[in-house]
Structure 1
């Protein structure tokens, strides 16, 4: 029997492809809330056993419990991706619990608010952002790769950002996400002949707890998106499930923009020139 959950973060079943990941085992980092939590639920809903890891083990445990209550297979574990031993322990836990590892989702990140002047940025803040956001996925991928090779259908899905492709602020965060896109390509070239696919998703603005108290900012941002809204965690979770599955068996080394058209269409500029052209 392969347990499954029903639905997504809002309780709906829209977009679900039940059973597509039957027999798969996945490890997710930073999965205690937001995109990571939605992705854990989505992978479980499609049949995967998931190890939900987070720096905050309480959050990870809550997500895993929700999945089990809906009939899915899930365990939780505290994991600091900045600690090599913790990363290796998480990979070992997943393999021991599920007997295999097919999918790694690198979602954990760290960022800090830019100093008003670039010259006032500190080495400590810069190093922290890069260590968690870029070197963390490096550590996790290194530890997981032998098991992903052994699975015969291994996949790594990195969660990047549109910040890695265009300026939206955040010096260290943007540099780390751009670096993660580069690592995705080089690792895809290395791991492809070994049967492992490596891809990256670049989300636009996603409505998560990180925006708590700034709902007015999200409302203003909606007008910049051609599709008229900011993203939801489930939008990213759906893309992860696709890239993890055999539906994406001939896709590797790509950056998949899941951004509501933000990078393809300069909505603000179009509105500005439209106003100019309509002026008397």
Structure 2
């Protein structure tokens, strides 16, 4: 299936992990993709790999914390592809919490919000006029987190992801009359390079997911491309959890009450 034949797609934070898998999925379905990342070499490597597989891709170093970078990336996509149909806001920052909340440094708080939430704002602001001119197929897909829905730690990151959910809803209402849809994907724990060296942690995490595993980047790529496609033509302003059932069930509490998952009873 090539749902994105003729589409032009820009992705942030796409040098690896969820962003890379999503860029590959769009390209495999016919889109021309601009892979952006703070690490320009990483973005270039991903784009080159997509081209080696027969897809169309360009790359650009982009710091979404800088308005000039966000605007330059959008301009690069439009100049290279002649149009822009889809923006995927995936870039984020996540600093670890300090043991005591009152010791959290201001610079880490501002960094998480400025990249995760502010970056999406800057890219959407620059892209929206072009998406509105995309013949009704303009779409923004923001990548949130279960951290924005429940408490899983990381104060600043979680606040930024919750803010991104709010921005998704308000922007969806604003952009709908202009023919642009705006939606949010909410991943649970995903096996990305950020977890390298912590395989034991991922195995423990898998035990609290009702579907019995952590997610893969391709799980999120499938959801993002669905929301960007004409298959979701009447969907806007939604928050779509792609989380193995994490937000619907508290397995720890169920086990405390003596309930066991079917997989544990087998």
The alignment's TM-score, normalised by the length of structure 2, stands at: 0.96
1:60 aligns with 2:43: yes
| Equivalent-residue separation in structure 2 for 1:104 and 1:216 (angstroms) | 35
Matched with 1:88 is 71
The answer to whether structure 1 residue 212 and structure 2 residue 191 are counterparts is no
Residue 275 of structure 1 and its aligned partner are, at CA, apart by 6.1
Runs of 4+ more than 2 Å apart: none
The separation in 2 between residues aligned to 1:222 and 1:111, in whole angstroms, is 21
Q: What residue in structure 1 maps to residue 258 of structure 2?
A: 274
**Alignment counterpart, residue 46 of structure 1, candidates 29, 32, 43:** 29
Task: Encode CA deviations 1:13-49: one digit per residue, 9 max, x unaligned.
Answer: xxxxx21111100000000000000000000011100
- Compared CA separation, residues 150 and 114, structure 1 to 2 (3 A): same
Match of residue 174 from structure 1: 158
Equivalent position of 1:249 in the other structure: 233
What is aligned with 1:158?
142
Seen in structure 2, the aligned counterparts of structure 1 residues 49 and 275 have a Cα distance that, compared at 3 Å, is closer
Match of 1:107 among 90, 93, 96: 90
1:225 to 2:209 alignment = yes
Distance apart, 1:80 and its partner CA: 0.2
Structure 1: runs of 5 or more not aligned: 1-17
Residues 40-72 of structure 1: CA distance to partner in whole angstroms, max 9, x if unpaired? 000001110000000001110111011111111
- Tell me which residue corresponds to 2:264: none
Q: Normalising to structure 1: TM-score of the pair?
A: 0.91
Task: Structure 2: give runs of 5+ residues left out of the alignment.
Answer: 261-266
| Count of residues in correspondence between the two structures | 259
CA distance in 1, matches of 2:255, 2:98: 31
Indicate the SS of the match to 1:151.
Answer: coil
1:10-49 → structure 2 map (5 Å cutoff): 18-49=1-32
Q: Secondary structure at the match of 1:274?
A: coil
CA distance in 2, matches of 1:154, 1:275: 46
Q: Deviations over 1:149-202 (max 9, x none)?
A: 000210000000000000000000000000000000000000001000000000
Select the residue among 226, 232, 238 that pairs with 2:222: 238
Per-residue deviation at 1:133?
A: 0.4
Q: Secondary structure in 2 aligned to 1:192?
A: helix
Q: Aligned partners of 1:72 and 1:238: how far apart in 2? A: 17
- Map of 2:58 onto structure 1: 75
Corresponding residue for residue 175 of structure 2 = 191
Distance of 1:136 and 1:72 partners within structure 2 = 27
2:99 matches 1:122: no
